[in-house]
Amino acid sequence: SQKIEQNSEALNIQEGKTATLTCNYTNYSPAYLQWYRQDPGRGPVFLLLIRENEKEKRKERLKVTFDTTLKQSLFHITASQPADSATYLCASGRGGATNKLIFGTGTLLAVQP
């Protein structure tokens, strides 16, 4: 079955460093991947979308890559700040005519001051 996998272990980094989160997909080829941020007790918030024909996308301190050979997306936050601490979810379309997304379980990022 179609699957999105994210590292379930928390990522702890020092303020100012670059955080890199990984998203792997199996058993299908998504047309795009999306990244969301979720704070405790809140709904996810959309951050970025990258299509399969795009290698890289940037938005301020955020960068996303899409490697169709490795079946992987990397999500980078440069010059990380404690305010970036949150859970980051990766998602992709399920394909076909459906508008549904498959979500990964998310990776918790903790940026230490």
Partner 1 sequence: DVKVTQSSRYLVKRTGEKVFLECVQDMDHENMFWYRQDPGLGLRLIYFSYDVKMKEKGDIPEGYSVSREKKERFSLILESASTNQTSMYLCATGDSPTDTQYFGPGTRLTVL
Q: Give the interface with partner 1 as residue ranges (CB under 8 A).
A: 8, 32, 34, 41-46, 49, 89, 91, 93, 99-101, 103-106
Instruction: State the minimum distance, in angstroms, from the CB of residue 107 to partner 1.
Output: 11
- What is the SS3 assignment for 83? helix
Instruction: State the minimum distance, in angstroms, from the CB of residue 42 to partner 1.
Output: 6
Burial, 6: exposed, middle or buried (Cβ in 10 Å; 0-12, 13-18, 19+)?
A: buried
Pick the closer one to partner 1 by CB: 80 or 107: 107
Bridging pattern class, strands 11-14 and 107-112: parallel
- Report the DSSP beta bridge partners of residue 25: 4
Instruction: State the minimum distance, in angstroms, from the CB of residue 77 to partner 1.
Output: 20
Query: Residue 64 corresponds to which tokens in the numbers above?
Result: 């996303």
Pick the closer one to partner 1 by CB: 3 or 58: 3
